[in-house]
Amino acid sequence: MPAILRTKSPVSPTLFQHTLANGMVLIAERMEHVRSAAFNFLIPGGSAYDPPDQRGIGGILAEMIVRGAGSRNHRELTALLNSLGTDRSESTGRIALHLGCSMLARHLPAVLEVYADILRRPHLPPEELPAVQSLALQDLDSLEDNPSSQVRVELYHCHFPPPLHQDSYGTAEGIRAVTPESLRHHYERCVKPNGIILAVAGDIQWELLRDTVERLFGDWPAGPLPELSIGSHIPHSRHLAKDTHQTHIAFAYPSVPVHHPQYYAARAAEAILCGGMSSRLFMEVREKRGLCYTISLSHKTFRHLAAIVGYAGTSADRAQQTLEVTLSELQRLAEGVTLDEVDRVKAGLKSGLIMQQESTNTRASIMASDWFFLGRVRTYDEMQQIIDQLTADMILEHVRACPCEPITVVTLGPHPLTLPAHCHPYQTSLPPLAS
């Protein structure tokens, strides 16, 4: 077994970190009020890493990697994980491939044994690839029946630079181009121990967990990691022409990434605008005027850039007014916020922290994300203190330093909308969608 490279003393009595000699990172938090455990493997193999001619291969790998590993075929592997009472998930984000699993804490070592096979010795059975490709194509086709998702997917293409604009759906041509050989190559290119973060939360015994991970992964050789080169991009708006009774509006404007000192001020500004039934957008756009049936905002962060992403679904005849009122409310935020609004969003952010502490799955996911973005894990007390210190002046300082413009707008419906001057103009050289 390789020598231990580093085991940090916990920053809290329940939070631990250890780096294997091959570069794999293990972070863990003991949650004494639960009897379960959950882990999340974060692997640099998200859709941004898909080759241009095989868009969608990351999503196919997420499905194929659990279809047999080590000495077990697909059926045997699934039966074993079921017998251990696991609740597992595999997903592909923009940056990372996520493998998550929860179980009773006493089964954690046995489940990690299985996942060591999945990560290090996957079968990626060629005979099952056509079925997985068929599922991926069906998932892609389903966008046609889900315009709210379709408009969000297109928003990323219009707003973010390549390859961050690539989504896990891929393209029909890219999905069909995947072969058993190219899938194996993509796995070998992306899945390396020195790129993996393993986060574990729950009723854990730290020394046993650390030694188990060392035994299972410590002799896995490190290797070169794929590079992610961010290309140049000029954001633009777009209208997707479709003969529907509804118009779907998605928009995005710059914000600050998670490591920025104003990150929580940005999250507070987002919550004032659209964080519950008392938020400005909900009240002004939906409740008072009845312009739309749904409206939302979320914060999307990458390592060095971020955006506030919004969506509104409305009838075609109210779409123009919905857009105008929504954008007006975004700009009006710079005029001031009330103490009641600040108190409300602080309570909401702290409530979210408490709920995160109730779920081992959520906590493991957040820990992996923290380490990826920050190189450390934030404690509950640290985040609560930051939220407690938020003031109206801090929120306004962020809003004025990071105004909600220029805005990228993507619309889907029967007619394009008239975009205000502070929006990126529509790009008109693109073909319309088929009805």
Q: For 261-274, how does the pLDDT look when each residue is reduced to its tens digit (9 = 90+)?
A: 999 999 999 999 99
Q: Tokens in use for 375?
A: 């190189």
Looking at the chain, the whole-number percentage of residues with pLDDT higher than 90 is 89
The whole-number pLDDT of residue 13 equals 76
- Rounded distance between C-alpha atoms, residue 44 and residue 187, angstroms: 10
| Res 392 pLDDT > 70 | yes
DSSP state, residue 178: -
Distances (CA, A) of 381 to 32, 79, 361, 375, 384: 16, 40, 19, 18, 5
pLDDT confidence band for 9 (50 / 70 / 90): very low
pLDDT at residue 129 tops 50: yes
d(CA 80, CA 174): 33
Place of tokens 């109206």: 392
The first and second tokens of residue 204, run together, are 């854990």
Reported as a single tens digit per residue, the pLDDT across 351-362 is: 888 887 789 999
* Six token digits for residue 27: 């972070």
pLDDT tens for each residue of 208-249: 999 999 999 999 999 999 999 999 999 999 999 999 999 999
Q: Is 111 helix (H, G, I), strand (E, B) or coil?
A: helix
Are 25 and 41 in contact by the 8 Å Cβ rule? The answer is no
Other C-beta atoms within 10 Å of 431: how many?
7
The pLDDT, as a whole number, for residue 94 is: 95
Q: What is the token pair recorded at 389?
A: 């210190």
Question: pLDDT band at 429, cuts 50/70/90?
Answer: low
Q: Does 115 score more than 50 pLDDT? A: yes
Collapse the DSSP code of 103 into the 3-class scheme (helix H, G, I; strand E, B; otherwise coil) and give the result: strand
pLDDT band at 418 (very low <50, low <70, confident <90, very high): very high
Q: Is the pLDDT of residue 432 over 70?
A: no
Burial grade of 59 (CB within 10 A; 0-12, 13-18, 19 or more): buried
Q: Provide the residue type at 299 as one letter.
A: H
Lowest mean pLDDT among 7-16, 156-165, 347-356, 384-393: 7-16
CB within 8 Å of 52: residues ≥ 6 apart: none
The pLDDT value recorded for residue 1 is 34
Residue 186: band (very low, low, confident or very high) from pLDDT cuts 50, 70, 90? very high
Q: Which residue has the tokens 């796995």?
A: 187
Query: Which pLDDT score, from 0 to 100, does residue 271 have?
Result: 95
197-202 vs 25-30, strand pairing mode: parallel
Pair type for strands 408-413 and 238-241: parallel
Q: State the burial class of residue 138 (Cβ atoms within 10 Å of its Cβ: 0-12, 13-18, 19+).
A: exposed
| Helix or strand (DSSP H, E) at 41 | strand 36-43
141 token code pair? 């086709």
pLDDT at residue number 334? 95
pLDDT tens for 396-409 read 999 999 999 899 99
Task: Give CA separation, 311 vs 119, 148, 294, 414, in Å.
Answer: 37, 8, 8, 17
* pLDDT confidence tier of residue 8, bands split at 50, 70 and 90: low
Q: Which residue has the higher pLDDT, 293 or 21?
A: 21
Give the pLDDT band of residue 12 (cuts 50, 70, 90).
low
The mean pLDDT value of the chain amounts to 93
